Each structure stands twice: as structure tokens, then as C-alpha cells.
């Protein structure tokens, strides 16, 4: 595991408002050297603003940005040593592929031989050597993205920022390119911050994910931890699917609370006073259908969606609730809608949050 | 007969007909006239024309004034095109109106207005004296500087508008990308922004140069007969001297020069604009 304590990039107290709208409300973000961190959140959550502030393309109202121990808050972008892959790639349309990659090296007045060598090396790394003398306008979306990556990396920046670099690509291409890019960045040891609204992308690529909502980071943790133990109801909703049941706490017993729901009483680990409105959640693959031992309750199947390696079962639930199960283990085949099935799960798998204010 | 039913042919027909009758035929006549002497085909009008040092002065006047007008328009119009493209919506509309509305005022009217502005007691003179640049009022009217000043004002919109339209299309993220690659603002301008505006510069220069190389009314009113250009000479040959031979010869030379300069400058710009 990466040492999360030594911070290579250190953003603290970042605040930014546009007029009356607060886009960043005092964000702290610490990224270790060589780490790949995703900023994940819906549009308008402030992730792109944070990225632009780190790149120096946007000034912060308050807060500091430190990179490699140096305060770069007041530095203009061209003196920060922070590379960016833009969402639309922002390739220079009047230059060829090789000239685009060489741009940063020439701007930094590197020796011609060094520039040539770096261009050759990075075009090879992104498998574009054959297209070096092509105009970038003649390239496909995937090729353009690779030029943008090679151009940003060729100057060996201390930090690479990626602003939704896969959003313009089709799904299949996106998946292979995610893996390729992740491998390349790992080989080069480049510290990277990646902005996305796509949870699958974030889960696939990241060492750690910062889940952002309304200008704040709600949870900053490894992908698995975020999926298994979402810190807030927002993180739960945004990352992965889950069953969600509204309820009211009826009793507390040590570390466990009893909650009354539309499907009867359920139990979860948590600390809530009786009478508190809560939201219970269970990840769909944690729920067992027709469990051998204890079960939580029976529910009527509304829909079964066959997805190849697994089946998704949707059950009838009260308004505002959602009850769904993903399972690969259905010994009697896919049940018909309308069947009543017993569902069960471990108390430890029950996530509990204060009910979101509606 | 089938070709007549082709919509492309039908759509182009009025324009072709109009241009053939009113432009190509008279131009052909002009060309033929300049090359024909009493004994058939001849180059004599041209050898005669180029043999006279006065005519070389006329060519110099024509190209010189057009060049100056183009340079002044470019120097003012290039930053103005940027200002226009990067201004806020309301400001942009106000500026566009300010640029386009004067186009509806005739050239003659504007040239007369400049006559008043450029007089010894005109606004320009008073202004320069007030600033202390000039010691006493001077007349700019009937000087080459006055001609360039007036003509540049009249042709300026034709420089600003094409530059404005290319600047508007440049993605501001390109300059940001340059910055994150370590390029200083001036390096970004030279290597990214300027090359991308070249197409606009080329069309602006082509517009202004071809209009100012052939201007007739403006020099007549702002500088007078002592400063002859190819177009004023052409006019005089037809209207006053009744010398159709000379008139058609100067007209053909003017046409050839204008085309050569415009073609050469766009070729040069394309070379500069392409990769180094």
C-alpha cells in the first residue's frame, strides 16, 4: 500500500466562489508520490474547479496548493510543472502529432536531441510512432487522446492531471484505454489526479478515490473501502448500486440498533437514538436468496434481469425504498416475476446512515 | 439537354450569366484593347508605359499607399479583432454595430468628412497641437499621410471582421494547454494563437490591399491630381484624355499587380502558418 502520510501534492483549505455560488468550500486533498487519485462526483461538485486550481488555470479565493514541498499557490501555470490532459484534448490543430508532443520540450528550451528522443520515446509508449507526421486533425478520438497523454507526459511533469479524458470515447475503447493508461502511469511512476463522474472508471483505475459533493470531499479512501463502507449516504448512492430502505430506530443495544422498516424489523451496527430516522442499505451481492439459516424477510419479485454472469432481481418495495439483489447462485434458475422469495444478509453488511433531509 | 436539368447548373446559371455579361466580357474587351494596335497584336502600349519614369512613380504611389493602408489596418485591426472576439455579449454587439454601421455610409461621404477632419484647422491638427506634438496647426489634407489615415479608416472593418471571426473560433483551452506544458504567455501567442489567426489575417490583408490598391474616390478627394495612382490614371485616361489604349493598359497592370500581391501574401502566410 502507498504511504498516504507523506503528501506530494497538498491542497489545504481550498475555497472558490463564482459570484454567490460556492464551488469549493474549504477542500483538503493530500496525494502521495506515485499515487493515482480520482476525484469522483456529479457535475457541479467542484472536481474540475479543484483540478484547474491545482494546474494554476484558476485562482483560489483562499487556501494553498503545495507540490513536492513547494508552495505553488501563486505560481502561474507555466511554472508549476503540472501537466494536464484536457477533456477535449486541446491538441494544437496546426501541428503534427510529433510537433504536439514536442511542444512542451521546445517551450522549455530543451536541447534538440533530447526533444527528439523524448518525442520518439513517448510516441512509442502510446503506440503512435507510425502517425508521428500526421496532422492531429486526421486522428480518431482514441488516437487524439493518446497524443494528449504523450504531450503532457513528454516533459515529465511532477504531477499529471486528467480531466475526464475518456468521456468522448466509446465504451469498449474506453475500457482498454483505461488499463493501458493506468499501466503507463504506473511504469513512469507519475503522480496523477483524475477527474471523473464515472464510478466504474474511478474504481478500475484509482489507488484512492475522493468522492466529491457540493464543493466538499465526502470520503477519501481506497476503492474497495469506498464500496464496502461508504462514509455517507451520498457516497453510497454515487458508488455502486444498493438496496435502500427508510426506517426509524426503535431501540439501541450496545453497538447494534433495531430499525423498523416497511419489511419489518431489521438490525444494523450503529449509534442512533431511538426515534431517529435512518436509511438502511445493503450492497446487492451481499443479499442471499433463500438463505439456509436465518432470513430477514420475504419479498415479492417484480423483475429479473439476466446479465450473463449474474442475475439482477428487483423486488416490490414501498415508495422511496429500493430492494435489489445480484446473484450468480440460483439453483432453480431465474424465478418468475411475482414469486415470493426469502432474503437474508449479515447484520455486519447492513449500512446505516441518518436519513437524508428531503 | 440533360445537363440543363441538373440543379447545380440551374442554381449557378444566373450568377454565371450576370458575371459573364457584365464582368468577363468587358474585362476581355479591356485585355484585348490593351494588346491591340493599329497593326494587330502588339506589346507596344506596355513597352511605352514602362518606358516612362512617370509611370513608375504611379506604380510606386499605388503599391506604396496600398501597403501603408494595409499595414495601418492590420496594426489597428488585429488587436481590435481580439478585443471584439473576447468581449462580453453586450459589448460585442455594441462594438460590431460600431464597426458595421459606418459601412452603410458611402465612401464619397466619408472621404468628404475626412477632408474636413484633415484640414489645417481640422480636428486632427487641433488635437496634435493640444497634445504638444505639433507646434502649430498643419494641413494633413492633400498629403500622403492624410490619404493613408482616411483610407485606413474606411477599410478598417474589412480587416477587423475576418480576424474577429477566426479568433472567435480558437479554443481558449489551447492556450491553457500550452501553459501547462511550460510555455510562457508570449511563447503561447507566437506558437499557438498567432498561427491560428493567420487565415483571418490573410483574408483581411487580401480585402484591404485589393480595395486600397484600386481606390479611386478616396485619393481623388484626399490628395488630388498631383498624386496619381494606377486607378486614378486609368480614370483620367478614359474620362479626360479619351485614351482607351492607355486606360486599358493601366487597368490590366493594376489587375495583375493586385492579384500578384494577394496571391503572394497568402502563399507566404500559409508557409509561415504551417509547421516550422
Do B186 and B132 share a domain, yes or no? yes
Do B48 and B183 share a domain, yes or no? yes
Do B128 and B27 share a domain, yes or no? no
Query: What residue spans in chain A does CATH classification 2.40.50.140 cover?
Result: 241-354
A104 contact B CB<8A: yes
CA angle A245, A247, A251 (to 5 degrees): 135
The helix or strand, by DSSP H or E, that contains position A343, with its residue range, turns out to be strand A340-344
Comparison of pLDDT for A309 and A153, the residue scoring more: A153
Nearest CA in chain A to B274: A94
Contacts of A56 in chain B (CB under 8 A): 179-180
**Residue range A26-44, pLDDT digits in tens:** 999 999 999 999 999 999 9
CB-CB: which of B174, B180, B183 is closest to A82?
B180
pLDDT at B189: 95
**How far, in Å, CA of A61 to CA of A15, rounded?**
5
Mapping DSSP to helix (H, G, I), strand (E, B) and coil, where does residue A256 land?
A: strand
pLDDT at A2: 47
Contacts of A76 in chain B (CB under 8 A): 179
Do B73 and B4 share a domain, yes or no? no
Q: Is the pLDDT of residue A243 over 90?
A: no
**Residue range B167-203, pLDDT digits in tens:** 999 999 999 999 999 999 999 999 999 999 998 999 9
**Residue range A244-285, pLDDT digits in tens:** 899 999 998 888 999 998 888 898 998 999 999 999 999 998
Do B130 and B265 share a domain, yes or no? yes
Do B17 and B82 share a domain, yes or no? no
**Residue range A114-160, pLDDT digits in tens:** 999 999 999 999 999 999 999 999 999 999 999 999 999 999 999 99
**How far, in Å, CA of A214 to CA of A21, rounded?**
10
CB-CB contact of B118 with B139 (8 Å) = yes
**Residue range B201-236, pLDDT digits in tens:** 999 999 999 999 999 999 999 999 899 999 999 999
Do B114 and B205 share a domain, yes or no? yes
Do B27 and B52 share a domain, yes or no? no
Instruction: Check CB contact under 8 Å for A94 and B181.
Output: no
Instruction: Check CB contact under 8 Å for A104 and B181.
Output: yes
Q: Taking Cα atoms as reference points, which of A103, A237, A326, A143 lies closest to residue B195?
A: A103
pLDDT at B182: 96
The count of structural domains within chain B is 2
Do B27 and B132 share a domain, yes or no? no
Nearest CA in chain A to B272: A94
Here the cell at position B243 is: 485614351
Average pLDDT, chain A: 91
Nearest CA in chain A to B172: A90
Contacts of A78 in chain B (CB under 8 A): 178-185
**How far, in Å, CA of A19 to CA of A17, rounded?**
6
Query: What residue spans in chain A does CATH classification 3.40.50.300 cover?
Result: 9-237
**How far, in Å, CA of B179 to CA of A90, rounded?**
12
- Distance of alpha carbon A46 from the chain centroid: 14
**Residue range A10-26, pLDDT digits in tens:** 999 999 999 999 999 99
Domain containing B29 equals 1-34
Do B108 and B19 share a domain, yes or no? no
Nearest-CA distance A188 → chain B (Å): 18
**How far, in Å, CA of A191 to CA of A187, rounded?**
11
**How far, in Å, CA of A317 to CA of A308, rounded?**
25
CB-CB contact of B263 with B45 (8 Å) = no
Q: Alpha carbon of A111 to those of A106, A116, A195, A266: distances in Å? A: 8, 9, 33, 69
Contacts of B177 in chain A (CB under 8 A): 84, 86, 90-92, 151
Q: Which fold has domain A241-354?
A: OB fold (Dihydrolipoamide Acetyltransferase, E2P) (2.40.50)
Do B236 and B125 share a domain, yes or no? yes
CATH class of the structural domain A9-237: alpha beta
Average pLDDT over residues A182-192: 94
Do B97 and B14 share a domain, yes or no? no
**How far, in Å, CA of A327 to CA of B175, rounded?**
51
Amino acid at each position: 500500500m502507498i504511504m498516504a502520510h507523506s503528501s506530494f501534492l497538498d491542497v489545504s483549505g481550498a475555497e472558490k466562489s463564482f459570484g454567490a455560488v460556492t464551488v469549493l468550500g474549504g477542500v483538503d486533498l493530500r496525494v502521495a508520490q506515485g499515487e493515482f487519485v480520482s476525484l469522483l462526483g456529479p457535475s457541479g461538485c467542484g472536481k474540475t474547479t479543484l483540478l484547474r486550481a491545482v494546474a494554476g488555470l484558476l485562482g483560489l479565493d483562499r487556501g494553498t496548493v503545495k507540490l513536492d514541498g513547494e508552495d505553488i499557490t501563486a505560481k502561474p501555470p507555466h511554472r508549476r510543472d503540472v501537466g494536464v490532459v484536457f477533456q477535449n484534448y486541446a491538441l494544437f490543430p496546426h501541428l503534427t502529432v510529433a510537433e504536439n508532443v514536442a511542444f512542451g520540450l521546445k517551450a522549455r528550451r530543451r536541447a534538440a536531441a533530447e526533444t527528439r528522443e523524448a518525442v520518439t520515446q513517448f510516441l512509442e509508449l502510446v503506440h503512435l510512432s507510425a502517425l508521428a507526421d500526421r496532422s492531429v486533425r486526421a486522428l480518431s478520438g482514441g488516437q487524439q487522446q493518446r497524443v494528449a497523454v504523450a504531450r503532457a507526459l513528454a516533459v515529465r511533469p511532477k504531477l499529471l492531471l486528467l480531466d475526464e479524458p475518456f468521456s468522448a470515447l466509446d465504451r469498449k475503447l474506453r475500457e482498454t484505454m483505461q488499463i493501458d493508461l493506468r499501466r503507463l502511469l504506473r511504469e513512469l511512476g507519475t503522480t496523477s489526479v483524475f477527474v471523473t463522474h464515472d464510478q466504474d472508471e474511478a474504481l478500475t483505475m484509482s489507488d484512492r478515490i475522493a468522492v466529491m459533493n457540493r464543493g466538499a470531499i465526502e470520503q477519501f479512501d481506497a476503492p474497495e473501502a469506498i464500496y464496502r463502507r461508504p462514509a455517507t449516504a451520498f457516497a453510497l448512492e454515487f458508488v455502486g448500486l444498493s438496496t435502500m430502505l427508510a426506517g426509524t430506530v426503535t431501540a439501541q443495544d450496545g453497538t447494534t440498533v433495531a430499525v423498523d422498516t416497511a419489511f419489518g424489523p431489521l438490525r444494523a451496527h450503529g449509534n442512533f437514538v431511538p426515534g431517529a430516522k435512518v436509511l438502511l442499505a445493503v450492497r446487492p451481492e451481499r443479499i442471499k436468496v433463500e438463505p439456509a439459516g436465518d432470513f430477514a424477510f420475504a419479498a415479492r419479485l417484480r423483475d429479473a434481469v439476466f446479465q450473463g454472469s449474474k442475475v439482477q432481481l428487483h423486488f416490490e418495495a414501498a415508495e422511496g425504498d429500493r430492494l435489489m439483489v445480484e446473484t450468480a447462485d440460483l439453483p432453480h434458475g431465474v424465478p418468475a416475476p411475482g414469486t415470493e422469495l426469502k432474503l437474508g444478509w449479515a447484520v455486519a453488511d447492513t449500512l446505516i446512515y441518518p436519513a437524508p433531509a428531503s | 439537354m440533360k445537363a440543363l436539368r441538373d440543379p447545380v447548373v440551374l442554381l449557378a446559371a444566373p450568377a454565371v450569366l450576370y458575371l459573364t455579361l457584365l464582368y468577363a466580357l468587358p474585362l476581355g474587351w479591356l485585355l484585348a484593347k490593351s494588346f491591340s494596335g493599329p497593326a494587330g497584336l502588339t506589346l507596344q502600349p506596355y513597352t511605352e508605359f514602362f518606358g516612362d519614369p512617370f509611370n513608375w512613380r504611379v506604380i510606386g504611389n499605388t503599391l506604396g499607399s496600398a501597403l501603408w493602408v494595409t499595414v495601418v489596418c492590420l496594426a489597428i485591426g488585429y488587436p481590435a479583432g481580439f478585443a471584439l472576439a473576447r468581449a462580453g455579449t453586450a459589448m460585442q454587439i455594441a462594438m460590431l454595430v460600431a464597426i458595421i454601421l459606418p459601412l452603410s455610409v458611402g465612401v464619397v461621404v466619408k472621404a468628404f468628412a475626412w477632408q474636413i477632419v484633415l484640414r489645417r484647422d481640422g480636428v486632427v491638427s487641433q488635437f496634435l497641437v493640444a497634445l504638444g506634438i505639433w507646434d502649430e496647426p498643419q494641413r494633413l489634407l492633400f498629403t500622403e499621410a492624410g490619404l493613408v489615415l482616411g483610407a485606413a479608416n474606411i477599410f478598417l472593418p474589412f480587416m477587423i471582421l475576418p480576424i474577429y471571426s477566426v479568433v472567435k473560433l480558437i479554443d481558449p483551452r489551447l492556450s491553457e494547454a500550452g501553459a501547462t506544458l511550460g510555455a510562457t504567455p508570449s511563447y503561447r501567442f507566437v506558437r499557438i494563437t498567432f498561427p491560428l489567426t493567420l487565415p483571418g489575417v490573410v483574408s483581411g490583408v487580401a480585402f484591404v490591399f485589393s480595395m486600397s490598391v484600386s481606390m479611386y474616390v478616396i485619393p481623388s478627394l484626399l490628395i488630388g491630381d498631383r498624386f496619381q495612382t494606377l486607378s486614378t490614371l486609368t480614370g483620367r485616361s478614359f474620362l479626360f484624355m479619351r485614351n482607351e489604349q492607355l486606360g486599358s493598359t493601366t487597368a490590366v497592370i493594376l489587375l495583375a499587380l493586385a492579384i500578384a500581391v494577394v496571391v503572394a501574401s497568402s502563399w507566404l502566410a500559409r508557409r509561415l502558418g504551417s509547421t516550422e
